Structure 1
Amino acid sequence: MKKLTILSGAGISAESGIQTFRDGDGLWENHKVTDVASPEGWRRNREMVLEFYNQRRRQLHEVEPNEAHQLLAELEKYFDVQIITQNIDDLHERAGSTNILHIHGELFKSCSCNNKSLIYEQKGDIYLGDKAEDGAQLRPFIVWFGEDVPLYQTARELVKDSDILVVVGTSLQVYPAAGLIHDIKDDCLLIVINPNETGFGYGQRAVVMKEPATKGMKLLFDKLVNLA
């Protein structure tokens, strides 16, 4: 089977009702991103950061995968599919995809704020005073701005091995994830689904579909199956 890699971003989850800060005024659910998604924000106000992600977690229980998620899962019948997602939700999993690399972390997990290798399932709220087994405060298992992206090298290797790379729902503005696009091999087919301008020009290299994720995937699905 051909290796099909998907690089997904906030645009695919937005169609399920999860807000993205990239398409608007730079705020994420009315918070400055640096206040809720940076080590500095965590140091300034842990309680606010915990409650912000508690609200995101509660919201995630209420939304469902959309047709774009479902079509990506369906492609596993035809390709060796690997999803690399910048999203922290579990909508790809719930849609039925089986190979998912969350390079920015997962909302339904927590970790020790002193040791990110101490990871726990976290379907409910986290409060001040909730401790990991090392005695440190639990924090969301999220890669914040300014932190290392430990799965980035794994993602690079997956992209390098791809026969087809589909970029869906991301404007390629967040690094290092946006840099993955440069790792494709010369004969890899590059397809970009995004209604807005992306972070850089592709020249003649990419097939660009200026559509939202769901519409783009519906238009693309049969064409991909014909390439299997």
Structure 2
Amino acid sequence: MKKLVVLTGAGISAESGIKTFRDSDGLWEAHNVMDVATPEGWHKNPKLVLDFYNKRRQQLKEVEPNAGHQILAALENKFDVQIITQNVDDLHERAGSSNVLHLHGELLKVRSTKKENYILNWSEDLNLGDFDDKGNQLRPHIVWFGEDVPALEYAIELVQQAEVLIIIGTSLQVYPAAGLINFANPNISVYYIDPNPATIYDSPNDIKVVSTTGSKGMEIVRKELEKFQ
């Protein structure tokens, strides 16, 4: 089966009701992202950060995967599908996708503030006083702005292996994730689905832009993919 690599951003989850900050002046659920998504914000007010992600974790229980997620999962019947997502939700997994790499962490996991590899599954509230096995405070397992992206090298390898690349619901403005497209083989087809697609300059690839939502775009692209089977 051909290797289909899919890069997904906030746009695909927005259809399920998860709010983004991409189009709202840097505010995420009425919070400045610098207060809730940076190491500095954490050190300044860890309780605010924990409360913010507790609310996001509870919100996640109230939403469901949409048609875009479901189409991607169904494509595993015909393609070797690898999803690389900037999203921290679990909607791809709940839709049935088997291979999902989370570049920016996962909302349903927490980790130690002192031991990066001490990671726990976590579905309820996280509070001050919740510790690892050595008494260190736990924090959301989220890659905040200014932190390294541990999964980046593996993501680059996956993009390099792609025989078809699909980009869904991302402004291609947040680096290093936005730079992944530059590692694609110049001879492969690239589909870019977004209601407000960014302009991609100097790409050697044949980029087919589909200016609509993730779910509607995937309906269109699914038919296009028949020629690769």
Q: Distance in 2 between matches of 1:190 and 1:36?
A: 34
For structure 1, the 5+ residue unaligned runs are none
Aligned-pair CA distance for 1:225: 2.8
Q: Distance in 2 between matches of 1:94 and 1:10?
A: 16
1:186 matched to 2:192? The reply is no
The aligned residue for residue 93 of structure 1 is 93
Contact kept, 8 Å, 1:75 with 1:225, in 2: the verdict is no
For structure 2, the 5+ residue unaligned runs are none
Give the 3-state SS of the residue equivalent to 2:126 in structure 1: coil
Q: Distance in 2 between matches of 1:199 and 1:121?
A: 38
The correspondence of residues 2-17 of structure 1 with structure 2, limited to 5 A, is: 2-17=2-17
Q: Distance in 1 between matches of 2:131 and 2:174?
A: 31
Aligned-pair CA distance for 1:202: 5.6
Q: Distance in 2 between matches of 1:85 and 1:158?
A: 12
Aligned residues: 228
Deviation track 1:33-85 (CA, whole Å, cap 9, x = no partner) reads 01000000000000000000000000001100000000000000110000000
Deviation track 1:13-32 (CA, whole Å, cap 9, x = no partner) reads 00000001002221000000
Aligned-pair CA distance for 1:224: 1.1
The aligned residue for residue 110 of structure 1 is 110
Q: Give % identity.
A: 55
The aligned residue for residue 78 of structure 2 is 78
Q: Distance in 2 between matches of 1:202 and 1:62?
A: 41
Aligned-pair CA distance for 1:199: 5.9
Give the 3-state SS of the residue equivalent to 1:109 in structure 2: strand
The correspondence of residues 160-179 of structure 1 with structure 2, limited to 5 A, is: 160-179=160-179
Aligned-pair CA distance for 1:200: 3.6
Q: Distance in 2 between matches of 1:200 and 1:129?
A: 46
Give the 3-state SS of the residue equivalent to 2:61 in structure 1: helix
Aligned-pair CA distance for 1:135: 1.3
Contact kept, 8 Å, 2:104 with 2:149, in 1: the verdict is yes
Q: Distance in 2 between matches of 1:225 and 1:95?
A: 21
The aligned residue for residue 124 of structure 1 is 124
The aligned residue for residue 139 of structure 1 is 139
**Range that drifts further, 1-10 or 182-191:** 182-191
Contact kept, 8 Å, 1:112 with 1:134, in 2: the verdict is no
The one-letter code of the counterpart of 1:160 is Q
Q: Distance in 1 between matches of 2:223 and 2:101?
A: 25
TM-score computed with the length of structure 2 as normaliser: 0.97
Q: Distance in 1 between matches of 2:109 and 2:10?
A: 19
Aligned-pair CA distance for 1:138: 0.6
- Quickly say closer, same or farther: Cα 1:103–1:199, change in 2 above 3 A: farther
Q: Distance in 1 between matches of 2:188 and 2:224?
A: 16
Deviation track 1:154-194 (CA, whole Å, cap 9, x = no partner) reads 00000000000000010111100000000001211111001
Contact kept, 8 Å, 2:188 with 2:206, in 1: the verdict is no
CA RMSD of aligned residues (A): 1.1
Contact kept, 8 Å, 1:116 with 1:141, in 2: the verdict is no
